[in-house]
Structure 1
Amino acid sequence: MGLWRPRATWLLGGIAAAAVAALLGLALLAMAGERVAALAAGGLLLLPLVVLRPASRWVERMLTHAATFRALADTRVWFFRRLAERMPAGIGLHRSGDLLGRLVADVEALDRLYLSAIVPVLTAIVVVLVTLALLAGAPLLAALVALPLAVALLLPLLLAPGAARAAAAGATAQGRLRAAAVDPLMGIEDTLAANAEARAGAALATEGAALAAAQRRLAWRGAWAGAAGAVLVQAALLGALGWGLETGASGLGLAVLGLFLAVAAAESIGTLPRAGTTLAIAAASARRLFEAADTPAPVAEPVTPAELPAGYALRLEHIRFAWTPDRPPVFEDLALEVPEGARLALLGPSGAGKSSLAALLLKLAAPQEGRITLGGVDLANLPADAVRRRIACLTQDARLFDDSIAANLRIAAPTAPDAALWRALDRAGIGELVRTLPDGLATGCGEGGARFSGGQARRLALARVLLSAAPVLILDEPTAGLDAETERAFLETLETVTAGRSVILITHRLTGVERPTRILRLVGGRVLSAAG
């Protein structure tokens, strides 16, 4: 609810509209009960309520759903930002299908918290209180009608704990099902090449059966809750009817009023016990969201950030780093200097820690010991976004998103004009190709850049990096996966377009095209000169 506080006006407005709609329905049937003996006179008085009632229902639906959509949109953005802060180096050990489910389905499940629990419960409380007030002249009748309705108000809280276990199991099963569906599809080539589609289908069927079982248990509890609500509403009707039969003609008016009020309350209260199941589902979904969103951030932001220095020389001093406490350290006493304008080639085999070094420099991870300085200022005292304005990176798996070329480039510079995009494309050696495309900059890249070959996609990613004004460029295996001819041409382009910036080329070998000012090797968590 704290996340939804900025939408309080909409949320409270929806609750007020729902209460007004319920009260108009109550008033309509209360007046009908009072006028049941004189329909001709009562018909004229009922006419405004007959018109206002559906109008109020329309307003209530519009307001409550508008409030929900806005609150859920805020929740998605909040959750995305929390994930971005906590997984800057990638999804890692998290399953993408499960995270997708949390971002989409679990957030959507929260709409029931407001629409199917908060609004109905608060509206029902208003209805019960007004019913008691209208029947205050006959305390016994008020008790017979209002007491079952009040019990219905308590049922959601009484039923929620039992439903919580089934809801939690259902949410977990749903996450496993999405992961079982998404993971094989993301690696569909490997799945098919290994003839593993049957096994993937069997795993999907198993997780589907587990989800269906959890949903059946939840539906069973919901059905019992609905039946309990119907019984309580009927009990209120029978109470009013019994009181009328007992009092005879003297109490006919109040008895009819009680009957009509019970009928009016049925809409607000009859299905209310199911709100217990709704609360359980929403709680399970919220738990899954917060479980992912509340994990500690791998790199803490400084409480009092330092000013970004004018210089951009990099220095690593006595760095010790391991990704997790249970894994061996990647670096032990690592020391490295990158002066302004240097062109450093850092060589090493797979697993030597080259990409880990890039993650440290980009503040995607933090060392356990030692410090890294940028322009003489400790990286730990600089905000991450400020560091990444000074240090840009082109990785071996730089991703093109399923959007236009222009939108992919503007990730690095959101306000860049088209002329700047064309300059970057020309410098990256891909401008002429883009000009030949019918849609030019508006051409869609496809998911993962599927519209282009590996070399073309890498040049588009390079153009995106070149749009950044960062004076330090990290090139992390930028030619991985390219054939020899494409690799050589790409490296020649890199040599030309990165002039004037500090460049850290991280690779497992040199081809001869590169012209570094210094060559180092990463061995055993330490940096050695290439000759050593």
Structure 2
Amino acid sequence: MIAMLHDLLRVLGLWRARRGWLLAGALIAMLAALAGVALLALAGRGVSEGLRHGALTGVAVGSLLLLRPLILVRPAARYLERLVTHAATFRALADTRIWFFRRLAERLPSGLGMRRAGDLLGRLVSDVEALDGLYLRALVPGAAALAVVLALAVLLGFAGPALAAVVALPLALALLLPPLLAPGAARAAAEVAEAQGRLRTAAVDPLLGLEDTLAANAEGRAAARLDAAGQDLARTQASLARRAAWSGASGTLLTQAALLGALGYGLAGGPGAAAGAVMGLFLALAAGEVLSGLPRAGTALAAAGAGAHRLFEAADTPPPVTEPAQPAALPTGHAIRAEDLRFAWAGDRAPVFEGLSFELPEGGRLALLGPSGAGKSTLAALLLKLAAPQGGCITLGGVDIAELSADAVRSRIACLTQDARLFDDSIAANLRIAAPDADDAALWQALERAGVADVVRALPEGLQTQCGEGGARFSGGQGRRLALARALLSPARVLILDEPASGLDAQAERTFLETLESATEGRSVILITHRLLGVERPTRILRLVGGRAMPAMG
């Protein structure tokens, strides 16, 4: 319970920027609830006055006349409540998603321990959505119910303390149901959240590798795993639903107890107590409507707590590279020097580098050769501060990159990866990832240098052509050239080309590498590849062997 409370308070801390909207929604919800109480209170007063005097007195008539404006105020307040509370929730959840995405972006290079895309998607979507229950189904109804119970106790207190006690006490106990029931529902809600993650994993993983799944005739096994995950989710959801049903029944029982208390007061108090009993009945009905959804708030709190726990579990993973408390100023030069680098991805894994050293002067073109697993892509990660060496250092312009912010390093060093991805957006949007402020002229210039401008001009929508998921609109060579254009748009003076022609046929590979040679002129280049074709013309060639860089022979 303490851990869940801590997580939920931390969620509210993330929503500080939206506190105006959140408070406004809660206040309007209280106003709408109190308008309902006032409506039935005036109706009850009119009826009780009529019963007391046997006719409609001036007080009774006045009370009934006041019902007219309240009949209009209440639905207007309810509409405004829905409008504001949902707007507040949407804004708060959007902020949470952005915060979570940024935390993931800082931590993904070293892995989060949840490499399954389905589970990660579940945390980003479903677990964030579960947080709406904290506000919409717990805090807002709780604030409205508290206001109603307090108003009811005050109003009935004027009629008689005993009446106030027998009606308000059961309703006050209903207010305690959410915090009392939430701990028991927390475990069930956590199981539901985990089952949802397993279901998404079972659904997404086979689809991501659909060709391999079909080629191995494994669709039946994939369907069986999906069915088992679905049944597991249904079981956990049924358990949580049973708790919600018991909560609802408990709340109904308490509101019925308030009604019985008002009736009992009227029967036991004699004729003079009848008027007060009628008032108590009307107010108990008003309170029952507001408190009807409150018992389920405990389940909502539990679900929100489970979602928050999963979010923070991922978001609190230590980042792979610690940013300096006071970053050094970015140097004017961009020469790179690696000295005695030692690095392993994990303590129980073999080291990738042991004493790696090399230099790249400004304007130099270094080719790093090596077979798969030699550490070529790992070196790119170290240079971009996506990982940090356990020993040695890398300097940029004479300054250790450990003393520079990651943003500063990546403003000087850009990378074209072997699996550079085109996103399901326009060509222009894909290119502007590297330079958000670039105008169309700059985009066309980059496309010209990458040798793909004619292809884009021939498209009916030009720069606004949608690339499709993973660049499906284009061939492999065209996609690589678009990715190269994006890298060329970056103002970085150092380009890392990590297996840039991987997956292309021999002719397309040679043509693409010839384009690279001219397109990257004037920049420092680190070409990471397993072989050279003779068109690259590097100024120095090193081969990665046993975690060290050795001069290439021949």
TM-score range, shorter-chain basis?
A: over 0.9
Q: For structure 2, which runs of at least 5 residues remain unmatched after alignment?
A: 1-11, 51-55
Q: Could you say which residue in structure 2 is the equivalent of 1:35?
A: 46
Against the structure 1 CA distance between its residues 118 and 93, is the aligned structure 2 distance closer, same or farther, given a 3 Å change threshold? closer
Match of 2:478 among 456, 459, 479: 456
Q: Could you say which residue in structure 2 is the equivalent of 1:181?
A: 203
- 1:278 is the counterpart of 2:300: yes
- Paired residues for 1:473-512 under 5 Å: 473-512=495-534
Distance in 2, matches of 1:407 and 1:271, equals: 46
Q: Could you say which residue in structure 1 is the equivalent of 2:76?
A: 55
Matched residue count: 532
Q: How far apart are residue 134 of structure 1 and its match?
A: 0.8
Q: Could you say which residue in structure 2 is the equivalent of 1:157?
A: 179
Distance in 2, matches of 1:203 and 1:522, equals: 42
Q: How far apart are residue 248 of structure 1 and its match?
A: 2.3
Match of 1:212 among 234, 243, 250: 234
- 1:9 is the counterpart of 2:20: yes
Distance in 2, matches of 1:379 and 1:205, equals: 49
Distance in 2, matches of 1:318 and 1:148, equals: 73
SS of the equivalent of 2:512 reads helix
Q: How far apart are residue 514 of structure 1 and its match?
A: 1.1
Q: Could you say which residue in structure 1 is the equivalent of 2:91?
A: 70
Distance in 2, matches of 1:278 and 1:202, equals: 31
Distance in 1, matches of 2:392 and 2:542, equals: 20
Distance in 2, matches of 1:217 and 1:246, equals: 43
- 1:421 is the counterpart of 2:443: yes
SS of the equivalent of 1:392 reads strand
Partner AA of 1:122 in structure 2: A
Partner AA of 1:112 in structure 2: G
Distance in 2, matches of 1:518 and 1:41, equals: 97
Distance in 2, matches of 1:294 and 1:371, equals: 27
Distance in 2, matches of 1:232 and 1:393, equals: 65
Match of 2:340 among 309, 312, 318: 318
Q: How far apart are residue 40 of structure 1 and its match?
A: 4.8
Distance in 2, matches of 1:352 and 1:185, equals: 30
Q: Deviations over 1:8-42 (max 9, x none)?
A: 00000001000011011001100100001236543
Q: How far apart are residue 270 of structure 1 and its match?
A: 2.1
Q: Could you say which residue in structure 1 is the equivalent of 2:141?
A: 120
Percentage of identical aligned residues: 70
Q: How far apart are residue 43 of structure 1 and its match?
A: 3.0
Distance in 2, matches of 1:512 and 1:95, equals: 40
Matched-pair contact (CA < 8 Å) for 2:21–2:85 = yes
Q: How far apart are residue 88 of structure 1 and its match?
A: 3.4
- 1:356 is the counterpart of 2:367: no
SS of the equivalent of 2:388 reads coil
Q: Could you say which residue in structure 2 is the equivalent of 1:265?
A: 287
Q: Could you say which residue in structure 1 is the equivalent of 2:6?
A: none
SS of the equivalent of 2:342 reads strand
Matched-pair contact (CA < 8 Å) for 1:14–1:63 = yes
Distance in 1, matches of 2:15 and 2:275, equals: 46
Partner AA of 2:43 in structure 1: A
- 1:434 is the counterpart of 2:444: no
Match of 1:21 among 23, 32, 57: 32
Q: Could you say which residue in structure 1 is the equivalent of 2:4?
A: none
Partner AA of 1:412 in structure 2: A
- 1:394 is the counterpart of 2:407: no
Q: Could you say which residue in structure 2 is the equivalent of 1:223?
A: 245
Matched-pair contact (CA < 8 Å) for 1:89–1:359 = no
Partner AA of 1:113 in structure 2: L
Distance in 2, matches of 1:157 and 1:11, equals: 21
Matched-pair contact (CA < 8 Å) for 2:112–2:314 = no
Distance in 2, matches of 1:147 and 1:397, equals: 65
- 1:331 is the counterpart of 2:342: no
Q: How far apart are residue 130 of structure 1 and its match?
A: 1.0
Distance in 1, matches of 2:274 and 2:41, equals: 14
Matched-pair contact (CA < 8 Å) for 1:230–1:271 = no
Distance in 1, matches of 2:163 and 2:111, equals: 64
- 1:198 is the counterpart of 2:209: no
Q: Could you say which residue in structure 1 is the equivalent of 2:399?
A: 377
Q: How far apart are residue 187 of structure 1 and its match?
A: 1.2
Matched-pair contact (CA < 8 Å) for 1:319–1:369 = yes
Against the structure 1 CA distance between its residues 92 and 386, is the aligned structure 2 distance closer, same or farther, given a 3 Å change threshold? farther
- Paired residues for 1:86-165 under 5 Å: 86-88=107-109, 93-137=114-158, 138-165=160-187
Distance in 1, matches of 2:512 and 2:112, equals: 29
Distance in 1, matches of 2:528 and 2:503, equals: 15
Matched-pair contact (CA < 8 Å) for 2:97–2:124 = yes
SS of the equivalent of 1:445 reads coil
Match of 1:289 among 290, 311, 329: 311
Matched-pair contact (CA < 8 Å) for 1:156–1:273 = yes
Q: How far apart are residue 317 of structure 1 and its match?
A: 1.3
Distance in 2, matches of 1:521 and 1:88, equals: 25
Q: How far apart are residue 93 of structure 1 and its match?
A: 4.9
Q: How far apart are residue 89 of structure 1 and its match?
A: 6.0
Distance in 1, matches of 2:371 and 2:62, equals: 94
Q: Could you say which residue in structure 2 is the equivalent of 1:305?
A: 327
Distance in 2, matches of 1:442 and 1:397, equals: 23
Return the TM-score normalized by structure 1: 0.98
Distance in 1, matches of 2:472 and 2:121, equals: 21
SS of the equivalent of 2:109 reads coil
Q: Could you say which residue in structure 1 is the equivalent of 2:53?
A: none
Q: Could you say which residue in structure 1 is the equivalent of 2:8?
A: none
Backbone CA RMSD of aligned residues: 1.2
Matched-pair contact (CA < 8 Å) for 2:114–2:120 = no
Q: How far apart are residue 275 of structure 1 and its match?
A: 0.8
